[in-house]
A and B are shown apart, each in its own frame.
Chain A
């Protein structure tokens, strides 16, 4: 056992991850490794009945590393702050204030499901990676999640998880249809057809091309499988502590998104889904910069509905940002000169609490931003727009390219718009609830 360093503050009730975690951690990280080793072993045995000692050593090394990781990792939650300490060589000690939580995800890969374990991912805004606890017992993870969310909403962490109200289930058949009518599938089908035709013309050429394109084809197939696997059995439910999303076929993911964390809602209607009246709904959260740390603000996009009817998407959107009491209006006809390919979709509008805009050329994309989340309002006018008496107004939300664009509106209207939007967002901010204040450091173990 490694003794934890002495804490300056009062005693903290540290807990460990589940003892079986190294098995899954090693299993997941070493899965490809083991595959390679098995293939190597098979070839070896075919040759001259070699010993599997090397493979065994590698396997043991992976497990030992996982075990060390488990030994040096500990966590505690005192009702206001989740602490996670990990790392043997480079200690990494994190303090996550519950008030700043953006979302909590519970992830269960296949192996973890068999063993009854789950990984908890806690997303905060700002720099740094997401924090994760891998793995806890499912029941422990559920309890911790409800405690974190209750504390986040300023309630007693011991409050039981509130009941939820189911909102939507995506039938498997519809999901299959939507995946079949997606860009990767279309590219895959075209490529395979091309190869079949080529095979007719010249079998040798087809073999050569297949050899070259194989990795690409495999990548496409993986992308299609991921989409299906990740969104199979997609269930959305509404609860007082946030929107809950459950999805996954082989491994499962359960996401909880507190409603007041939603920065923007986006509805996407690809061309090939239009005959069925389908659309996709996504929400943006302020997120950790993650992999490209230091590249400025970042956001996390979460799917709220992978495929569904417009009325269902509207119901979901209403439960997230409230009813929208206006229809976006198209810009003046002369905007067609400036935006000939997207004019047919262009529209925008706003009321006291929400700004909305429709953009896109082939895919129709509608974006809503609650004005209380607006980070800034911008007005941009290019030379052509000036000649036509047009201008574009952006309402920016947290993230890299999250905004509502009032494209190519009448120039005098945009000047009024900037003032109106700035004033409305100011008022909306004043009415909005501030982040729950961070309470004085009260230390007690929470079950």
Chain B
């Protein structure tokens, strides 16, 4: 926050503006920064998953709220990925693939231990409950 205000101040100073204008710009930058934090935080809070006996529940989205129910028996394979940014923070994404392209069961931002546990658990459950196409 402070950094944002300082940055805004610096930009305003560099532009050689009158002090009231500097304050206004600093405030605007701070507001944008704060609101983006709020959005990211809300999006983060909207992500959720639950392992039930027979299926996996994944919900996400703030504006467009989605909830997916994917039965373990329908699972074709489990994919664990870690992008460049995710790796910096030591996180990975688990994705469940079914024969339907639109089944949307992706869980991002998992600790590696949890991702591994989920992957192995899901793979085992998928094997146990597998159903033909």
Contacts and interface: CB of A to CB of B under 8 A. Distances in A.
A397 B101 CA distance: 9
Interface of B: 54-55, 63-71, 73-74, 76, 97-105, 131-133
Interface of A: 102, 125, 261, 263, 286, 296-297, 372-383, 386, 394, 396-403, 418, 422, 425-426, 429, 432, 434-435
A-B complex: 5 closest residue pairs judged by Cβ atoms? A435-B132, A398-B99, A376-B103, A375-B100, A396-B100
Nearest to A396: B100
B131 A434 contact: yes
Contact of B99 (A125, A372, A377, A378): A125
Contact of B71 (A263, A286, A376, A386): A376
B67 A383 contact: no
Nearest to B73: A429
Contacts of B133: 102, 125, 261, 263, 286, 373, 398, 435
A379 B132 CA distance: 25
13 contacts: A102-B133, A297-B76, A372-B131, A373-B133, A376-B103, A376-B105, A378-B68, A380-B67, A381-B65, A402-B100, A422-B71, A425-B71, A435-B132
B63 A375 contact: no
A322 B125 CA distance: 31
A400 B101 contact: yes
Contacts of B97: 296
Contacts of A372: 131
Contact of B102 (A381, A383, A394): A394
A422 B64 contact: no
Residue picked from A373, A378, A386, A425, most chain B C-beta under 10 Å = A378
A396 B66 CA distance: 14
A400 B69 CA distance: 18
A71 B114 CA distance: 55
A327 B59 CA distance: 30
Contact of B69 (A297, A377, A382, A397): A377
Contacts of B104: 376, 378
Given A398-B99, A399-B101, A382 B74 contact: no
Given A297-B101, A376-B105, A378-B103, A429 B71 contact: yes
Given A382-B64, A398-B133, A426-B54, A376 B101 contact: no
B102 A378 contact: yes
Contact of A418 (B67, B102, B103): B67
Given A286-B99, A396-B98, A397-B100, A376 B132 contact: no
Contacts of A399: 99-101
Contact of B103 (A102, A375, A432): A375
A375 to B, nearest CB: 4
B132 A434 contact: yes
B69 A380 contact: no
A375 B64 contact: no
B54 A380 contact: no
B119 to A, nearest CB: 18
Given A376-B74, A422-B71, A403 B100 contact: yes
Contacts of B65: 379-381, 386
Contacts of B100: 297, 375-376, 396-399, 402-403
Contacts of B131: 372, 429, 432, 434
A41 B37 CA distance: 74
A426 B67 contact: no
Contacts of A380: 64-67
Contacts of B55: 422, 426
A426 B55 CA distance: 9
A403 B68 CA distance: 14
Contacts of A296: 97, 101
A381 B64 contact: yes
Contacts of A286: 99, 133
Given A426-B55, A432-B131, A434-B132, A403 B69 contact: no
Nearest to B130: A434
A259 to B, nearest CB: 13
Contacts of B105: 376
Contact of A378 (B54, B69, B71, B101): B69
Nearest to B64: A382
Given A125-B99, A296-B101, A398-B100, A379 B67 contact: yes
Interface centre among A372, A375, A399, A434 (most CB of B within 10 A): A375
